[in-house]
Chains A and B, each alone.
Chain A
Amino acid sequence: MMIPQALRGLLLLAALLFAAPLVRADAYEAKLPAELNTAPRLCDYVPCAEVLPGATIFSERKGRPFYVEGYVEEKNGKRLAGYVMLSTDITDIPAYSGKPVVTLIGMDATGRFTGSRILKHSEPILLLGIPESALVRFNQQYLGKFVGDNIEIGQSRPEEDIIGLDAISGATVTVIAQNQVMMSSGAAVARQVGILERTVRPQARLLETGATPDWATLATEGSVKKLTVTPEQVGLPRAAQPFIELWYGYLNQPDVGRAVLGEAGWQNLLARLKPGEHAIFVIRSGGKESFKGSGFVRGGLYDRVQVRQGQDAFTFRDLDYLNLYGLAAAGAPRFDESAIFIIRSDAFSAAYPWKFTFLGNRVDRETGTRSFANFDSEYWLPAQYLDGGRPEVKKPAPPWLRVWQTRRYEIAAFAALLIAVAVVYAQRDRLTRAATRNNKWPVNGFKYSFWLISIGFVGFHLMAQPSITQVLTWFHALLFQWRWELFLTDPFIFLFWIFIVATVFLWGRGLFCGWLCPFGSLSELLYKIGGWVGLKRFQFKLPKVWHHRLKWVKYGVFGGLLAVSVLSMGLAEMLAEVEPFKTTFLVGLFNRSWPYTLFATGLLGLSIFTERPFCKYLCPLGASLAMPTTFRWFGLKRKSECGSCKACAVGCGSQAIDEHGRIDQRECLHCLDCMVLYTDDHACPPLVHERKRRGKAGQPLTPIGADGYYIPIKPVSAAAAQAAAANAATANAPSGMALQP
C-alpha cells in the first residue's frame, strides 16, 4: 500500500526535523557580562586583541562615544595600533529581530578595519536558517576597508564611488543593519581621533522677531518639543502615567530663549555662553524616572540624555549643566526636574534638525535582562526664527529607500506580475468559459506561466517567499512596536503582502496559494510534471476521511507557532522551520544541514505523487490565510444541482469540495477546474442534461448565463425583454458577464 507508506514518510520527516541535531549558534542571545556596558576596562571582558591583531595593551574606555585604544608593545615603549569599539556604545541600530547585533570592532590607526567579532545577536535567521558563519564571513569583507569609504550592500558602483559588499542571501535586513553598525561605529571613532574630519556645520543665523510666544504657541510651532516614554516601551506593565515625559527646546534663539527663561534668565544664560556654544533646556513634566540619573555624580557624565545631529552625538558633562530656574512662558507645564545643558561644539548647528535622545533600558519581560533602548524626538527650529529660513537638508536616504531605489526594475516587474495575476484572475469567468474539460489551457496557460515566474523569478531570484514568520513578526509588531522601516527593507515581501492581504479578502487565499506561492507552485508543478512523464499511475489522493482529518494539522501548526511566539519569538522562529521555504529558496537545498535538506526534498518528492502535500496538511502560512478567507468578498459559483452531482468534487485537486458539493473556500486553491466545468455543457451534468433535452426537443441552445444555466427560452414583448435584460444586467453585475451576447 502506497498511501500509508507515504504518510509514514511524511511523519518520519517531521520527526526527523525536530529530533535533528540543531546546531545552536554561539552568539545567539549570548549572555554578556553585565559589566560590558559600563566597565572602564572594556577589554577585560571582550577579546579586543582578536579584532585588533597585534595589540596587547588596551586603554580604558575613552571618548564620547566610547572607544578603546590598543597598543603594540615595542622595545622603547608602546605604539598605537588602533582602536577597538563596542557597537552598542555607539549606535543601537536594530537588526531584523529589533535588537542590535552586539559587535566588537577593530580599526587600525589609519582607519582601516582590522577585525570584528559578533558578541551577541538575536537574529532568528542566523539561529537556524543560515549558519552564523555567514555573518562572520560577511563581516570579514570589511577587513582592510577604509572607514571613510562609501560601503553599501550590493554591487560596487565605481562611478558613484560605492564599494559593494556581498549580502547574505535571505538575511538582507540583518546585513543592511550590520553595515550601518560597522560604518557608523567606525566613523564615530574615526572622527574623534582625527582620522576623519570632524563635521563642522554652518552655524544658524538666528532671527529675532520680537515675539514673546506663550507655551502653547511654542509647542505648536515646534520651538519646544515633548518626548514621552511609556512604561510598556521599557518593558514595564502598562500604566496611565508615562515612564518619563520631557519637554526640551533650543535656548540660543532670542525669542524662544526669552519666552522660556524670561529676560533676566536668558541674559544670564547668554553671559555664560561662549561663541559657538548652544544651550538647550530639559524639564520633566511627568513620570518618576529621572533624566539626570546619578552617573554625573561619580563620572561627571549625564548618561541618560544626549543630543544627536547626523552622525554626531553630543553628551553632557556636569560642567555642561546649569540650573534652570524656571519657565517664564505662560502656560508652561509644572516640572519637577530640570536642566540647561550646553553643547560645546561647532559640529552642532541649530539651523539643521537634531534629535534629543533619552537613553533608557528596556527590561525583557521574558528573561528579565536589560537592554539599551533609546527614545528620541526630532527638533528643528521653526523657519521664522532662522535668517533665510530652514536650509535645505539632504537627508541620506534611509536604507529601506535605497533598497527600493536600487532594485526598482525588479520591483516594477514584480508589481507588474502581481497586477497581472489579479487582472487575469478577475477575468476568470471569461477564461473558464473559453476553457473546457478537455482543454483547460485558456486558464492553465496563465496559471502555469505564473507558476514558472513565481518559482524562478519570485522564489529563486528575488527570494520573496512569504513565510509564517512574517505573520508572527507582524503580529508582534502590532502588539508592541510597528516599524515600517523593518518591513520596507524587503520590498518584495512588502508588496507581496499587500497583494496577499488584498486578494485574501477579495477572492480568498487560493489565489496566492494556488497561483503565486513559489513553493506551492513548485510543489504542484512537480505533480503535474509527474503526471505528464507517466507517473500518473503512482499518483494518489489521501482518502477523504484522512484528508479531512489531516487538513486540520496545519491549523494546529499555525496555532502552535503563534502560541510559542508569544512565549518566545526565537523558539517560534526555530519551529517555523516546518516551512521548507528557507531551505528551498533562501538558502538552497544543498547549503543546509541534512535534516533540512531531507525534509524539503522529501516534501517536494512527495509532491510528485500527491498534489501539494505540504500545502494541504502542514503549511501554517496557508492556515493563517485560510482563516480570513472566510470573509472573502467573491467566492466561486455553485449550482443547486451541485448538492447531488459530484462531478467537480472528483476532479478537485485540493479536495475542497465536500459531499454536499460545497466548496471549502479555505481549502480551495483556485485552480478553477470546477469553474471550467461550470460552463462546459459537455461536462457539467445539469448542462449536459439540458443540452440533450433541448437537442431532443429541437430547441435552440441559448448562451449559458452567469448562473451557469442556458438562458431560459420565454417569448416576451420587446419592451419587457429590454427591461428584463436591464434587470438581469444589474442583478448579475458582480459576475461581470451579464447577458449581452
Chain B
Amino acid sequence: MSREHNKTPEEQLDPSRRRFLNTAAVAGLAGASMSVGLSACNQDSKPASAAPAAAAGHADAAHEGQNPHLKPGELDTYYGFWSGGHTGDFRVLGMPSGRELHRVPCFVPDALVGWGITNESKAVMGTKADGSLKYTVADTHHTHASYKDGNYDGRYAWINDKINSRIARIRLDYFICDKITELPNVQGFHGIFPDKRDPVDPAINYTTRVFCGAEFHVPLPNDGRDLESPEKYRSLFSCVDAETMEVRWQMLIDGNCDLVATSYDGKLAATNQYNTEGGYHYEGMMSAERDACLFVNIARVEEAVKAGKTTTIGTSKVPVVDGTRAANPDPKSALVGYVSVPKNPHGVNATPDAKYFICAGKLSPTGTVIELAKVLDWFDGKLDDIDKAIVAEVELGLGPLHTAFDGRGNAYTTLFLDSQIVKWNVDAAIRFHAGDKSAQYVVDRLDVTYQPGHVNASQSETRFADGKWLAVGCKFSKDRFLPVGPLHAETEQLVDISGEKMKLVADHPVRPEPHDFIIFKRDLLRPKQVYDMNEFPLAVKDQKEAGVFRDGKKVTVRIASLAPAFEPREFKIKVGDEVTIILTNLDKVEDLTHGFAIPKYNVNFIVNPQETKSVTFKADKPGVFWCYCTHFCHALHLEMRSRMIVEA
C-alpha cells in the first residue's frame, strides 16, 4: 500500500483531505448514484479545494492561451465523438467550439432520420419475429475509433450499449451506424476499446478487434439457473471482429470488467476490475482493499481459440476461453495476468508514449502506473510477481476516475469528489514512487464544475497527443446554466492545456448524459458528401423506374425524389395491402436531403442525396394521405408531395 508515499504530496497540497477521505469518501461516491451524502461531501471538500485551484488561476495569467471561440465561417480544428448516455446516441461535436454537429442514431429509434422506421435501420438494429424492434432503449458510454499506425484512420468508431450489451459500429465516411452486435451471456457491457495493431502480424498495423468488458456478474447461461447463487455469477471479456462485427471469442474471468485499454504494440488488452469480490451489493463490491487490472495476452488467447481450448455457453456459438486465475497458474502460458490495483479502480488509460497503463483509484485517492514492458516480462517468466509491473502508485486527490495525456509526459486525472482535474507528471510520479521524495509530481490543479467523470485531451488516445485542449465531462451543472426545471444539462468544460497551468476557457451545456469522448484532428476524417447510389440494391435509379408494382397483397411503391417533386406524384393501394415504399433521392447536390412522411401511418424518414431507404407497413386506413417532404429542400418544399390513395 502507498499510505506512506502519499503523505508528502497530500500535505503539500491539501492537508484536510486525509480527514475527508476517512470520513466521507464512501458516502460521497455512493452519492453519485444514490444522492446520499453529496451535500456533506461538498460542504467538506469545497472550501478546502478551492484555494489552491484559485491560486493556480492567478499564476496562469502570464500564459496567453488559446481562443476556443470561432468567428462565423471558421471551422473547428478537431472532431469530438461523444457518447450520449441513455439517450442511446453517438454525437459529433466540433472542437474547441463545442458545437454539436450531428447525432448518429445507433441503438434507439430516431424520428429525424427515421432510424427504427426504415427497413434498413431495422435490419441493423435487430427485430423480433413480428418485425418490431427488439430493443428501443440503450445507454451509450464509451466511443473509440479505429487506428492505424497509432493514430485514428477515419474508418470506424464503436460505441457500447450498456443496457442491452450491444456494440454498434459507425462508418465514418457516412457517419451512419452500419452494424450492431449483441454480446452473448453478458450484462453491463461497459468498457470498449479497439486494438491498435495485430500482436503477431506486423503487416496489420491497424485495428482488427474491439474488446468489450462486462461489468455485471450473471449466471452462465442466464436462462433461469442459479438465480439465488450469486457466487456462481460470472463476467466475460469479449473480443469482436472489427470488420465482420462477429464476436470472435469470449473469456471467462475472475471478477468483472469496467473500462478497457489496449497497448500500441497490439499485444495487450486490459480491463480494470472494481468487483473482484463478485459482490452483488455495493458493500460487497467494495470490501477488498485492492481490486485488479486484468491484462489479456491477445496472441495467447487467439492461439488457445485456434487450438480449440474453448467451451461454449448456452446457445451461443462463441468460443469461450478460461481466463480465471485457477486456469492460468503459470505466467509463461497464462492467457491473463491480474495486477492488483487499490480499491474499486475506475478507468484504465494508455499513455501516448505507449509505455504505461494508468488506473485511477476511485475509492482510493491514487493513480496506479503499470509498465507494460514489465507485464510482458511477467508473461515471459522474467518477472516473478506481476504487481512488480506497478511503477508508481501515487496520491492524486479524491475520487480519481479517468486520465488523459498531453504528449509532454503529463497526465490529467479527474477527481470526482474534489471536482477537480489534477495535472501530474508521470515520470515524476515514478521517481517519487521509487523513493525520490523530492519529486513534485503534481503540476497543477483546476476546479471544474461539477463532479467530473470522463476527461480527454486532443489526440490523447493516440501516439500523437498534442496537448492543446482538454475536455471534461461534468456530471452536475447545478447553477452553471439557465435553469430549465429539475433536469439539468451537463457541463462539458473546455480547458486549455497548452501552457504549464490549466486554463478553463468554456462551458458547454450538453443534453444528458454523455460519458466518454475522444477528440482528434479534423484532417483525420474523410467524410463523403453524398451517398453512392450503387451501395443500395433497391435504388430507384431513374424516375422512369418509379411506380407501383403489385404482387398479390404485397405492393411495392418505388418513388424517386428530385426537388421539388416525388415521382410518382400519386399512387393507389388497397386496404389490406402490405405496402413497401422504396424511396431514392436522385438529387446530387450536396446537402439536398428530402424527407418522406405519411400522415396517420406513423412514417417519417429522410433520404440524403443519392440514398435509398424503404419502409413497410400495412395499409389499414382508407383515404387520401399526403406523403410530404419533411426536410427542407427547395423553394417548392411545401409543394413537394405525393398522394397516397388507399382504396377501401
Report A's interface with B, CB cutoff 8 A. 264-265, 268, 271-272, 297-300, 318-319, 321, 323, 325, 336-337
Query: Is there a chain A Cβ closer than 8 Å to B435's Cβ?
Result: no
Cα–Cα distance between A298 and B587 once the two chains are bound (Å): 11
A319 — which chain B residues lie within 8 A by C-beta?
529-530, 588, 590
On whether the beta carbons of B524 and A300 are closer than 8 Å, the reply is no
Least CB distance, A299 to chain B, in whole angstroms: 7
Main secondary structure of the interface of A (DSSP, over half): helix
- Chain A CB within 8 A of B99 CB: no
Interface contact B529-A264, CB-CB below 8 Å: no
Other CB < 8 Å A-B pairs besides A300-B589, A337-B73, 5 of them?
Answer: A264-B523, A268-B524, A318-B590, A318-B591, A319-B530
A-B contact pairs, 8 of them (CB 8 A): A264-B521, A298-B589, A300-B589, A318-B529, A318-B589, A319-B588, A321-B529, A323-B75
B643 at the interface (CB under 8 A from A): no
B590 / chain A contacts, CB cutoff of 8 Å = 300, 318-319
Establish whether residues B529 and A325, one from each chain, have CB atoms under 8 Å apart when the complex forms.
no
Q: Number of B interface residues, CB 8 Å?
A: 14
Chain A residues, CB < 8 A from B589: 298-300, 318
Enumerate chain A residues within 8 angstroms of B523, measured Cβ to Cβ. Answer: 264-265, 268, 325
Q: Is B225 an interface residue (CB 8 A)?
A: no
- Whether a CB of chain A sits under 8 angstroms from the CB of B102 is no
Residues of B within 8 A of A268 (CB): 523-524, 526
A contact residues around B526 at 8 Å (CB): 268, 271-272
Q: Which of B73, B522, B588, B591 contacts A325 (CB 8 A)?
A: B522
Instruction: Indicate if the CB atoms of B75 and A325 lie closer than 8 Å.
Output: yes
Q: How far is the CB of B95 from chain A (nearest CB, A)?
A: 13
In angstroms, Cα B588 to Cα A268, docked, is 24
A265, A268, A271 — which one has the most chain B CB atoms within 10 A of its CB?
A268
Residue of B whose beta carbon sits closest to that of A338 = B75
Bound Cα distance from A300 to B73, whole angstroms:
19
Closest 5 CB pairs of A and B: A300-B589, A318-B590, A268-B523, A265-B523, A319-B529
Cα separation A709 to B588 with both chains bound (whole Å): 93
CA of A226 to CA of B594, assembled, Å: 40
Chain A min CB distance to B74 (Å) = 9
Distance between Cα atoms of A634 and B588 in the complex (Å): 74
**A300–B529 CA distance with the chains assembled, in angstroms:** 12
| B524 contacts A264, C-beta separation under 8 Å | yes
Chain A residues contacting B522 (CB-CB under 8 Å) are 323, 325
B contact residues around A297 at 8 Å (CB): 591
Complex CA–CA separation, A248 to B589 (angstroms): 25
Quote the shortest CB–CB distance from A291 to chain B (angstroms). Answer: 13
Instruction: Among B521, B526, B589, B591, find the residue whose CB has the most chain A CB atoms closer than 10 A.
Output: B589
When distances are taken between beta carbons in the complex, the residues of chain A under 8 Å from B75 are 323, 325
A300 to B563, CA, bound (A): 13
With the chains together, A298 CA to B563 CA distance in Å?
11
Of chain B, the residue at the smallest CB distance from A325 is B523
Q: Which residues of A contact B521 (CB under 8 A)?
A: 264
Please measure, in the bound complex, the distance between the C-alpha atom of A342 and the C-alpha atom of B591, giving whole angstroms: 19
Contacts A299-B589, A300-B588, A300-B589: A336 and B524 contacting too (C-beta < 8 A)?
no
Instruction: State how many angstroms separate the Cβ of B610 from the closest Cβ of chain A.
Output: 10
Chain A residue at smallest Cβ distance from B530? A319
A298: chain B residues at CB < 8 Å are 589
- Chain B residues whose C-beta falls within 8 Å of the C-beta of A336 in the assembled complex: 73
Bound form: Cα–Cα A298–B588 in Å? 11
Q: What is the bound-complex CA distance between A321 and B529, given in angstroms?
A: 9
Q: Which residues of A contact B524 (CB under 8 A)?
A: 264, 268
Q: Tell me how far the C-beta of A485 lies from the nearest C-beta in chain B, rounded to whole angstroms.
A: 39
| A336 to chain B: closest residue by CB | B73
Closest to A318 in B: B590
Which of chain B's residues have a CB closer than 8 A to the CB of A318? Answer: 529, 589-591
CA distance A265 to B525 in the complex (A): 10
Residues of B67-92 at the interface with A, using a CB-CB cut-off of 8 Å, are: 73, 75, 77
A264 to B524, CA, bound (A): 8
Q: Shortest distance in angstroms between B525's beta carbon and chain A's nearest beta carbon? A: 8
Which residues of the other chain, A, contact B529 by a CB distance below 8 angstroms? 318-319, 321
Interchain CA distance A299-B588 in the complex, whole Å:
10
Closest to A266 in B: B523
Q: How far is the CA of A623 from the CA of B590 in the complex (A)?
A: 63
Chain A residues closer than 8 Å to B73, beta-carbon distance: 336-337
Q: How far is the CA of A672 from the CA of B73 in the complex (A)?
A: 75
Q: What's the least CB distance linking A298 to chain B, in Å?
A: 8
Closest to B71 in A: A336
Nearest residue in A to B529 (C-beta to C-beta)?
A319
Question: Could you mark each residue 52-78 of chain B with 1 if its beta carbon is under 8 Å from any beta carbon of chain A, else 0?
Answer: 000000000000000000000101010
Give CA–CA (A297, B633) in the complex, Å.
11
| B517-544 near A? 1/0 per residue, CB < 8 Å | 0000111101001100000000000000
Complex Cα–Cα for A323 and B529 (A)? 11
Q: Which of B521, B522, B523, B529 has the most CB of A within 10 A?
A: B523
CB distance from B589 to the nearest CB of A (A): 4
Complex Cα distance A181/B178, Å?
53
Docked CA distance A318–B587 (Å): 12
- Cα distance, A553 to B526, chains bound together (Å): 75
